[in-house]
Structure 1
Amino acid sequence: YTVGGLSINDDLKEVTVDGEVVKLTPIEYNILLLLVKNQGKVFSINQIYESIWNEDAIGADNTVAVHIRHIREKIEINPKEPRYLKVVWGVGYKIDKN
Structure 2
Amino acid sequence: KEVLLHGDAVKLTPIEFKITELLMVNAGRVFSIRDIYERVWNEPAYNAENIVAVHIRKIREKIETDPKNPRYLKVVWGIGYKIEK
Write 1 or 2 for the structure with the bigger share of helix. Answer: 2
What percent of counterpart residues are identical?
66
Stretches of 4+ moved more than 6 A in 1? none
Q: Does 1:85 align with 2:73?
A: yes
Structure 2 unaligned spans of 5+ = none
Q: 2:30 aligns with which of 37, 42, 57?
A: 42
Distance 2:71 2:42 in 1: 28
Residue-by-residue CA offset, 1:35-92 (whole Å, 9 max, x unaligned): 0000111000000000000111001000000000000000000001111100000000
Distance 2:72 2:51 in 1: 20
Write 1 or 2 for the structure with the bigger share of strand. Answer: 1
Question: Please, what is the CA RMSD of the aligned residues?
Answer: 0.6
TM-score under structure 2 normalisation?
0.97
Structure 1 unaligned spans of 5+ = 1-12
- Identify the structure with bigger relative contact order (alpha carbons < 8 Å, sequence gap 6+): 2
TM-score under structure 1 normalisation?
0.85
